C-alpha cells in the first residue's frame, strides 16, 4: 500500500494540491473565526497567525471527486471512517460532535506545520511522502500533531 501511494504521488500531487486549495477556499468563505480561548490554544501549539484560522463544522469530511485521488486517500487512511478533522492551511474541517480541545489542538498544530512549510503546495508533498514512507500513524507530522494535543487549556 505504501509503495502504491509512493508510485502514485507524482501523478496525483497536482490534483491533491488543487483539491486541498479548493477546500481551503471553501473553509475560508464558510468557516468561522476562532474565539479568544481557541486563539490561545492555537498560539500554545505554535501557530503564528491564529486570527487567520477558520473552522467549518461539517457532517462528514469531504472526499475528492477525482476517483483515483479519492481511492488513494481512502487506502492510505487519510480520509474515511473515523476521521473527524482535516486541515488545509488555515482552514480546518471538524465533524459535528467532535469539536473538542484534543482534536482542535491537533488540527491547529497542522496549521503551524503549513505555516512552517509556507503553503499548501509546499506542505502536501512532504506530508504525503511521510504517509507513503511511514504510514499514517507514524508519519512525523502526525506524530508531532499528537504530541501537541491538549486535554485542557
Whether residue 2 is predicted with pLDDT greater than 70 in this model: the reply is no
The residues, any chain, with a CB within 8 Å of residue 141's CB and separated by 6 or more, are 110, 113, 126, 127, 130
Residue 1: pLDDT over 70: no
pLDDT-based confidence at residue 5 (cuts at 50, 70, 90): confident
- Give mean pLDDT, residues 143-149: 97
> Does the CA dihedral 24-26-27-33 come out positive or negative?
positive
Q: Confidence band (pLDDT; 50, 70, 90) for 3?
A: low
Bridge-based pairing of strands 54-58 and 85-88 is: unpaired
Kindly report, residue by residue over 75-112, the tens digit of the pLDDT: 888 888 889 999 999 999 999 999 999 999 999 999 99
Model pLDDT, residue 152: 67
Could you give phi then psi for residue 78, rounded to 5 degrees?
A: -75, -30
Q: Are 53 and 111 in contact (CB under 8 A)?
A: yes
Which of 58, 74, 51, 65 shows the shortest CA–CA distance to 4? 74
More confident: 135 or 116: 116
The cell numbers describing 63, all together, are 472526499
C-alpha cell belonging to residue 106: 491537533
Instruction: Quick: pLDDT tens for 18-46.
Output: 999 999 999 999 999 999 999 999 999 99
Q: Which long-range contacts (CB under 8 A, 24 or more apart) does 129-136 make?
A: 129/6, 129/9, 131/2, 131/5, 131/76, 131/77, 131/78, 132/2, 132/3, 132/5, 132/6, 132/9, 132/76, 133/2, 133/6, 135/2, 135/77, 136/76, 136/77, 136/78
Structure confidence by residue, pLDDT tens digits, 59-69: 999 999 999 99
pLDDT at 71 over 80: yes
What is the mean pLDDT of the segment spanning 132-141?
A: 93
Amino acid at each position: 500500500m505504501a509503495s502504491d501511494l509512493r508510485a502514485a504521488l507524482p501523478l496525483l500531487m497536482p490534483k491533491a494540491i488543487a483539491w486541498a486549495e479548493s477546500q481551503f477556499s471553501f473553509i475560508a468563505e464558510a468557516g468561522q473565526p476562532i474565539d479568544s480561548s481557541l486563539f490561545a490554544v492555537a498560539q500554545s501549539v505554535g501557530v503564528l497567525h491564529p486570527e487567520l484560522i477558520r473552522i467549518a463544522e461539517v457532517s462528514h469530511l469531504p472526499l475528492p471527486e477525482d476517483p483515483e485521488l479519492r481511492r488513494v486517500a481512502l487506502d492510505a487512511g487519510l480520509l474515511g471512517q473515523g476521521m473527524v478533522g482535516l486541515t488545509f492551511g488555515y482552514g480546518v474541517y471538524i465533524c459535528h460532535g467532535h469539536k473538542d480541545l484534543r482534536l482542535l489542538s491537533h488540527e491547529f498544530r497542522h496549521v503551524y506545520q503549513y505555516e512552517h512549510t509556507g503553503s499548501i503546495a509546499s506542505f502536501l508533498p512532504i506530508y504525503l511522502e511521510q504517509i507513503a514512507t511511514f504510514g499514517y500513524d507514524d508519519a512525523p507530522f502526525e506524530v508531532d500533531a499528537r504530541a501537541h494535543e491538549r486535554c485542557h487549556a
